[in-house]
Amino acid sequence: MSNFSWAILGPGGIARAFAKDLALLDGHSIGAVGSRSLSKAENFAAEFGGKAYGSYEELVSDPSVDGVYVATPHPGHHGNVIMALNAGKPVLCEKPFAVNAQQAQEMVDAASKNQVALMEAMWARFLPHYAKVREIVASGVLGPIQSIHADHGQRLADQGIARLIDPQLAGGALLDLGVYPVSFAHMILGNPTSITSSAVMTDKGVDAQTSMIFSYSNGAQAVLTTTMVEQTPCRAVVAGLNGWLEIDRTFYNPASMRVVQNDGSVTEYPSSYKGHGLREQAQVFAQLVASGALESEILSWKDTVDIMKSMDTVRGQIGLKYPFEN
29 Ramachandran zone, left/alpha/beta (phi>0; psi -120 to 50)? beta
* Residue 274 pLDDT > 90: no
CA nearest 59: which of 49, 69, 73, 46? 69
Read off the pTM. Answer: 0.96
User: Using one digit for the tens of pLDDT, what is the confidence trace for 224-249?
Assistant: 999 999 999 999 999 999 999 999 99
Q: Judge whether 10 and 71 are in contact, CB under 8 Å.
A: yes
User: Using one digit for the tens of pLDDT, what is the confidence trace for 173-189?
Assistant: 999 999 999 999 999 99
Contacts within 8 Å (CB) and 24+ apart, 260-269: 261/141, 269/129, 269/132
Percent of the chain at pLDDT above 70?
A: 100
- Determine the pLDDT at residue 175: 97
Q: Judge whether 102 and 75 are in contact, CB under 8 Å.
A: no
User: Using one digit for the tens of pLDDT, what is the confidence trace for 109-141?
Assistant: 999 999 999 999 999 999 999 999 999 999 999
- Determine the pLDDT at residue 2: 79
Query: Where residue 1 falls among pLDDT bands split at 50, 70, 90?
Result: low
Query: Where residue 15 falls among pLDDT bands split at 50, 70, 90?
Result: very high
CATH superfamily of this structure's domain 128-276:
Dihydrodipicolinate Reductase; domain 2 (3.30.360.10)
User: Using one digit for the tens of pLDDT, what is the confidence trace for 136-193?
Assistant: 999 999 999 999 999 999 999 999 999 999 999 999 999 999 999 999 999 999 999 9
- Determine the pLDDT at residue 276: 87
CATH of domain 4-124: 3.40.50.720
d(CA 224, CA 241): 20
User: Using one digit for the tens of pLDDT, what is the confidence trace for 49-96?
Assistant: 999 999 999 999 999 999 999 999 999 999 999 999 999 999 999 999
Q: Judge whether 110 and 82 are in contact, CB under 8 Å.
A: yes
d(CA 39, CA 37): 5
The residue ranges of every structural domain in the chain are 4-124, 128-276
- Determine the pLDDT at residue 246: 98
What's the mean per-residue pLDDT of the chain? 97
* Residue 302 pLDDT > 60: yes
d(CA 286, CA 14): 19
d(CA 259, CA 237): 10
- Mean pLDDT in residue range 213-218: 98
